[in-house]
Chain A
Amino acid sequence: SAVISQKPSRDICQRGTSLTIQCQVDSQVTMMFWYRQQPGQSLTLIATANQGSEATYESGFVIDKFPISRPNLTFSTLTVSNMSPEDSSIYLCSSFSGLLDTEAFFGQGTRLTVV
């Protein structure tokens, strides 16, 4: 399956600052997904990013807080803006490949701690 390189793998940030997470896929993909996994919790979808259009955000997530870019079919960024300690989570990007788009693959995640 395809491979996603995600960086940074971890970071410790001051509250009020922003962090941009990058995901590079080794093949072209139509859709990319950004998830958040809070400590001890499941994965919650933040938004879906298609190339050339605005990202689609899930309920509870807004563009001002989590702006996303998708400049081409192999790359996407998620920015966590004006961070607070509640934003401390693992952030993952994901996409699909294979027949029926059922082969999900994930980046290794970015472990973010806000202090």
Chain B
Amino acid sequence: AQSVTQLGSHVSVSEGALVLLRCNYSSSVPPYLFWYVQYPNQGLQLLLKYTTGATLVKGINGFEAEFKKSETSFHLTKPSAHMSDAAEYFCAVKTGANSKLTFGKGITLSVRP
């Protein structure tokens, strides 16, 4: 079975500050890991993904995430928050082709001026 844990439901940062959104996964096989962003009243947008290879992956809008197998983590970071980053962020895991995508409960990111 696969699962995703996103601790906390809300993170608030100041504009220009570091963004760190935590994600831990559970999987019996090597996982594929994803971060999605959802802006209010909009659909899901893929930020980045890890499948194989380099463990530090870069995505859109300046976000990146590092796959750490030993810690079963895939935390999302951005060096400098922008007001436009305010949204809901979902971590998700998949355990291979033809397997389902399982989402974490999501984290709301607020950015203070």
Residues of A participating in the B interface, judged by any CB pair closer than 8 Å = 30-31, 33, 41-45, 48, 92, 94, 96, 99-102, 104, 106, 108-109
State the total of A-B contacts with C-beta under 8 angstroms. 44
Task: Please tell me which one of the listed residues B34, B94, B106 contacts residue A42 in the complex, with CB atoms under 8 A apart.
Answer: B106
Task: Please tell me which one of the listed residues B32, B49, B90, B98 contacts residue A31 in the complex, with CB atoms under 8 A apart.
Answer: B98
Residues of B participating in the A interface, judged by any CB pair closer than 8 Å = 32, 34, 43-44, 46, 49, 51, 90, 94, 96-98, 100-106
A106 and B44 in contact, given A100-B51, A101-B97, A101-B98 (Cβ under 8 angstroms): yes
A48 and B51 in contact, given A41-B105, A104-B46 (Cβ under 8 angstroms): no
How far, in angstroms, from A24 to B33 measured CA to CA in the complex?
26
User: Contact at B90–A100, with CB atoms within 8 Å?
Assistant: no
How far, in angstroms, from A31 to B105 measured CA to CA in the complex?
23
Contact sample, A vs B, 21 pairs, CB 8 Å cutoff: A30-B98, A31-B98, A33-B101, A41-B105, A41-B106, A42-B90, A42-B103, A42-B104, A43-B90, A44-B103, A45-B101, A45-B102, A48-B100, A96-B97, A96-B101, A100-B32, A100-B96, A101-B97, A102-B49, A102-B94, A108-B43
